[in-house]
Amino acid sequence: MKPVPKFLAVIAVLSVALPTSALAFRAINTLDVNKVDKNVFEVVGRPGVIKDDYWCGAGDYLRRELQLPWKTKIYVVSGIGRGVTTGARSAVQFTLNPEAVGITPYEASWVGDVLTVGYARSVTAAFHHCDRRLFSNIWF
């Protein structure tokens, strides 16, 4: 039996050791989006982002990566907290199927926190929050 060349062994080890974030979708606002399970995905934050940036990441992921219709509803599963895919200190989880994850859609007409569990927006409304990133260098 021939010995395995060292460079092939190193490549094999590195490919197994890569973190999940290496496979993440990078949203237009540079936040990573990772799939948690078949019903939940999470947008991983970083210092300096605001709540609308999480919505931008979710909307961009659903539109560009999954190619879902603009009117698809996105529901908050959990507000800002520790991420399960990367262990990041600030991540928000979303779903398209609130019943599958056991949350009740938020029905009130007013919400004080746009990351309240069960609160929903369409892909259009979520992606609209990417405007801040897209037009940040344009002066009117």
- What pLDDT sits at residue 129? 87
- What pLDDT sits at residue 137? 54
Q: Is the pLDDT of residue 45 over 50?
A: yes
- What pLDDT sits at residue 108? 87
Q: How does DSSP assign the chain, residue by residue?
A: -PPPPHHHHHHHHHHHH--GGGG-EE-TTS-EEEE-SSSEEEEE--TT--HHHHHHHHHHIIIIIS---TT-EEEEEEEEE--SSS--S-EEEEES-HHHHT-PPP--S--S-TT-TT-EEEHHHHHHTTHHHHTTT---
Q: How confident is the model at residue 17 (pLDDT cuts 50, 70, 90)?
A: very low
Q: How confident is the model at residue 138 (pLDDT cuts 50, 70, 90)?
A: low
Domain limits, the chain: 20-134
- What pLDDT sits at residue 52? 94
Q: Is the pLDDT of residue 114 over 80?
A: yes
Q: Is the pLDDT of residue 86 over 80?
A: yes
Nearest to 62 by CA among 114, 130, 108: 130
Strands 32-35 and 40-44: antiparallel
Give the residue carrying structure tokens 């599958």: 100
Tell me how far apart the alpha carbons of residues 74 and 59 are, in angstroms, rounded to a whole number: 8
Q: Is the pLDDT of residue 68 over 70?
A: yes
Q: Please state which of the ranges 17-26, 29-38, 80-89, 94-103 shows the lowest mean pLDDT.
A: 17-26
